[in-house]
Structure 1
Amino acid sequence: MVVCWFVGLTTLDVVHRASGRPGANEKVTATRQDVAAGGPAANAAVTAAALEAHAILVSALGAGPIAQAVRADLDDREVQVHDVAGPDEEFPVAVSAVLVDDATGERSVVSPDAALVAVRAPRPDALAGLPRPDVVLLDGHHPAIARAVLAHVDELRPRPLIVVDGGRWRPVFADLLPAADVAALSADFTVPADVAPGAADAAHGAADAAHGALLLGARSVVVTHGGDPVTWALPRRRDDGAVVVGEHGTVPVPRVDVQDTLGAGDAFHGALAVALARGAGLQDACAAAVRVASVRVRKVGPRAWLAHLPELSEPRAGSAAPGPDSSRDEG
């Protein structure tokens, strides 16, 4: 069984489904309510565990009724939690208010994320006691945890693959992206020009997100575009030393009846991590992750969809990780 670490944010998601969004000073009646653990790292870990990987979530929960609710859900989903905060420490686990539009399946989220309190770094000996990972996903929340885990895995030989989940820019990504074997980004991700000069000057038709991450040192980039094809790219160094987008291509996304987009990107990342851990190349891993995310958006609710997960096919013989496999364009 492959081992995947998911490092970052855990929340408690309170999800309401309604026929529309309320305006100012308005109320709407929900047609459905769900409560579940959430957050990019936690959702990805739940997906990985459902795909029969050993999923380890390195996050901060602590004590208190909210943490107990989160922990119960994660235990039920067979996610192993390494709690940096400690089981007896009071910690303000973020509560996310989520509204899913019944007509479109689109979600709106209000959450403090990891902004309520700074989290200390985990002890190196505690990390050393965890099962050795094949892949480590870092979501950029709780920077002290991310940096400590990155320092730990950098010492392992062979070094696990590092996946960086970037939904939107945060300063910690300046430290994480240079270590990324795969930067898994949303199309909204942009690298500030003062961090990576030239990041906004995308090359070869690739998204700014891809070029910016490659400029910072990521060894490959995957960018999701909602219902549009997933793009991937590898870096190329020109004769003048400039890093530009080299080989690149797309992975199609099937047209489906979208019912609920909450956590779809996290499901993609969890499946991507598992596929890479099992030895798939970048394009095959993206295709497997697309299949999983497509199931997620067709089902209502944060957990019901897990019973409908497709199996991830084994990688083809000789398939490299994390490099692409086939059907690629030359930059």
Structure 2
Amino acid sequence: MPDAPADAHQKPSVTCWFAGLTTLDVIHRSAVRPGPNQKITAVRQDVSAGGPAANAAVTAATLGARALLISAMGSGPVGSAARGDLEHHGVEIHDTAEGRVIPFAVSAVMVDDETGDRSVVSPDATLADGLDVTPQALDTLPRPDVVLLDGHHPDLARSVLAYAESLDPRPLIVLDAGRWRPVFADLLGSADVTARSADFRAPADVARSRAVVATHGPEPVTWCDKDGRRGSTEVPTVDVRDTLGAGDAFHGALSVALARGADLEAAVEEAVRVASIRVQHIGPRSWLEYLSCV
């Protein structure tokens, strides 16, 4: 593998918080989709931590940021497996369920071997919701330059947002808005950047964030910054092998770029670059070695 660029160690040291969902993903890659009451044999299996906040944190850590995940894992065997994967990839963890055994979400993922498209079935945060974090606990953590909220664990999201807004200097707030959740009504008005999917729809009476980034699959990413400047960023044509976690990689890279002082256009360009690397490699973590060499 090639050496890292000469300026790789000169990038600003930044801290990013990622508050939200962690799951354990059991991923099967298959040449065909099973029909009703049918069993098939996978061509590959992977097990890793998943969830929007967790995957974004892994990306940020690989990019050289100090990545802190605020999430609920607990001391059970499933949560411990997810924790081990995250720590192996450089993510620091503040566990809001530390010392307790909680129901921990396991996501069943199937990736189409031909197209790289993924299908996911998961309980998300519904098994152990209502987990909160106190300002006193957050005071013990390194101060963030950027805070990303994924909208899972609503009480956690509201608490982290309230704490972040009390800090001076106030960190940038980024929302991962893949799907509408009621908690977004409490978060959008305080967000500096909302990174949303093309099908994200907020009610008309909900306050908007200061800037918006919208992804459209392989189509250009559109954006509007806090000054009303609009633009789009082309998505390069690549050989797509695996789309699982591509959006999370985008959000992790976007957060790091913003933390390092990039304007929105430059941050989107960096996020597109990183997500494009992710989709070219099979498996939830194999792509990281290519990212760290860029």
Q: TM-score range by the shorter chain?
A: over 0.9
Tell whether 2:135 aligns with 1:102: no
> Secondary structure of 2:229's match?
strand
* Partner Cα separation in structure 2 for residue 169 and residue 141 of structure 1: 11
Counterparts of residues 79-94 of structure 1 (less than 5 Å): 79-86=91-98, 88-94=99-105
C-alpha deviations, 1:2-50, integer Å up to 9, x for none?
A: 0000000000000000002111111221000000000000000000000
For 1:221, which of 176, 188, 212 is the aligned residue? 212
C-alpha contact 1:121 1:144 (8 A) present in aligned 2 = yes
C-alpha deviations, 1:146-168, integer Å up to 9, x for none?
A: 11111111111110000000001
Taking structure 1 as the reference length, what is the TM-score of the superposition? 0.83
User: How large is the Cα RMSD of the aligned pairs?
Assistant: 1.2
* Partner Cα separation in structure 2 for residue 55 and residue 230 of structure 1: 25
Structure number with the bigger relative contact order (C-alpha 8 A, sep ≥ 6) is: 2
Match of 2:174 in 1: 163
Stretches of structure 2 lacking an aligned partner (at least 5 in a row): 1-12
* Partner Cα separation in structure 1 for residue 171 and residue 135 of structure 2: 16
Closer, same or farther in 2 for the Cα pair 1:311/1:268, shift >3 Å?
farther
Closer, same or farther in 2 for the Cα pair 1:311/1:138, shift >3 Å?
farther
* Partner Cα separation in structure 2 for residue 10 and residue 124 of structure 1: 21
C-alpha deviations, 1:65-116, integer Å up to 9, x for none?
A: 1011011101101100000011x20111100000000010000000000011
> Secondary structure of 1:92's match?
coil
Q: Which amino acid aligns with 2:216?
A: H
Match of 1:32 in 2: 44
Q: Which amino acid aligns with 2:55?
A: N
* Partner Cα separation in structure 2 for residue 13 and residue 93 of structure 1: 11
Q: Which amino acid aligns with 1:257?
A: D
C-alpha contact 1:85 1:119 (8 A) present in aligned 2 = no
C-alpha deviations, 1:193-217, integer Å up to 9, x for none?
A: 4x44xxxxxxxxxxxxxxxxxxx13
Q: CA deviation at 1:234?
A: 3.8
C-alpha deviations, 1:163-199, integer Å up to 9, x for none?
A: 0000010000001110110000000100134x44xxx
C-alpha contact 2:55 2:245 (8 A) present in aligned 1 = yes
C-alpha contact 1:291 1:310 (8 A) present in aligned 2 = no
* Partner Cα separation in structure 1 for residue 281 and residue 214 of structure 2: 23
Tell whether 2:230 aligns with 1:248: yes
C-alpha contact 1:292 1:309 (8 A) present in aligned 2 = yes
Give aligned pairs, total.
282
Closer, same or farther in 2 for the Cα pair 1:31/1:220, shift >3 Å?
same
Counterparts of residues 291-310 of structure 1 (less than 5 Å): 291-309=273-291
Tell whether 2:260 aligns with 1:278: yes
Stretches of structure 1 lacking an aligned partner (at least 5 in a row): 197-215, 237-245, 313-331
* Partner Cα separation in structure 2 for residue 145 and residue 136 of structure 1: 13
* Partner Cα separation in structure 2 for residue 129 and residue 292 of structure 1: 31
Match of 2:138 in 1: 127
Larger Rg: 1
Tell whether 2:182 aligns with 1:191: no
C-alpha deviations, 1:290-318, integer Å up to 9, x for none?
A: 00000000000000000001678xxxxxx
Taking structure 2 as the reference length, what is the TM-score of the superposition? 0.93
Match of 2:88 in 1: 76
* Partner Cα separation in structure 2 for residue 12 and residue 119 of structure 1: 19
Match of 2:152 in 1: 141
* Partner Cα separation in structure 1 for residue 80 and residue 170 of structure 2: 34
C-alpha contact 1:51 1:311 (8 A) present in aligned 2 = no
Tell whether 2:121 aligns with 1:117: no
Match of 1:260 in 2: 242
